[in-house]
Amino acid sequence: MLDYFRSIGARAIHSVAVLGRSGVFLANSLIGVPTLRSGFPLLIKQLYSIGVLSLVIVIVSGLFIGMVLGLQGYNILVDYGSEQAIGQMVALTLVRELGPVVTALLFAGRAGSALTAEIGLMKATEQLTSMEMIGVDPLRRIIAPRLWAGFISMPLLAMIFSVVGIWGGMLVGVDWLGVYEGSFWANMQASVSFEEDVLNGIIKSLVFGFVCTWIAVFQGYDSVPTSEGISAATTKTVVYSSLAVLGLDFVLTAVMFTAL
């Protein structure tokens, strides 16, 4: 019985230690802007593998979610004779919530797990150690560009998601279900506020990008350098990122939108 409590305590202490380690890790990676000439090409390469390669899944998902929102929204609103409000419903749902959150979840699954696996593999094949032995700080050369690429890509991807989703909603609402195009856009413009909705959505995606990339990169760096270790780390990345995103979304929504 006592052993059970002891193991819980040990687990709790271990978790706190991991959190601390990840904090130190983050600080060490971000301190000091890397020199422009050497740092920039690395950043570009990471933007490509993290951002550009996620575009396909973001656009396709955005399109389908936007279309489903259009369909379902229409079904609900038509009972109140308010199907003209479909534009504002789709736009607000996407810009405030689904854009940042779903993009973050997709990001964690696609880019996050790729990052974890890549860094974990680098650790397992001792590339990180040999880099240190040559005198290069792997945190600056490998980790930092990936962190910044994640921070920059996420908001961009979330905005693309929202726009594609709204277009999908328009396809369904206007072209298929016959809502007037004029009122679709007019109602949307009247109710979506740039400062309150769009900007808050961007802030959310910045926070999510920060958290997801940090988790992904740390899990790779901290992984046990075996094949089971890497697979466990990849799983943890996806799970922790998703939970963190959903939890933070609630907190951020409460803070940002209850004032309205």
Partner 1 sequence: MDNYIEIRGMSFLRGERLIFNDIDIDIPRGKVTSIMGPSGTGKTTLLRLVGGQLKPRTGTITVDGENISRLNRKKLYLARERMGMLFQSGALFSDLSVYENVAFPLRVHTKLSEDMIRDIVLMKLHAVGLRGARGLMPSELSGGMTRRVALARTIALDPDLVMYDEPFAGQDPIAMGVLVQLVRLLNDALGMTSVLVSHDVPEALSISDHVCIIADGKVIGQGSPKYLKEQGSPLVKQFLQGLPDGPVPFHYPAADYRTDLLAGSEGAGLFS
Partner 2 sequence: MYKRTIEIVVGLFIMLGIGALAVLAFQVSGLTTNAAADTYKIYAQFDDLGGLTKRGKVSMAGVTIGRVSNVELDKESYTALVEMELYRSVDNLTTDSTASIQTAGLLGEKYISISVGADEEYLKEGDTIFDTQSALNIEKLIGTFASGK
Binding region for partner 2 (CB under 8 A)? 41, 44-45, 47-48, 51-52, 55, 80-82, 84-85, 91, 95, 152-153, 155-157, 159-160, 162-163, 166, 185, 188-190, 192-194, 197-198, 202
Which of partner 1, partner 2, none lies near 115, with the C-beta cut-off 5 to 8 A by kind?
none
Q: Which of residues 163-182 bind partner 1 (CB under 8 A)?
A: none
Q: How far is the CB of 146 from partner 1 (least distance, A)?
A: 12
Q: Should residue 130 be labelled a site residue for partner 1 when binding is judged by CB under 8 A?
A: yes
122 touches which of partner 1, partner 2, none (CB within 5 to 8 A by kind)? partner 1
Residue 234 beta carbon to partner 1: minimum distance, rounded to whole angstroms:
17
Q: Which does 135 bind (CB under 5 to 8 A by kind): partner 2, partner 1, none?
A: partner 1
- State the binding partner of 28 from partner 1, partner 2, none, CB within 5 to 8 A by kind: none
Find out whether 201 and 96 touch, Cβ atoms under 8 Å: yes
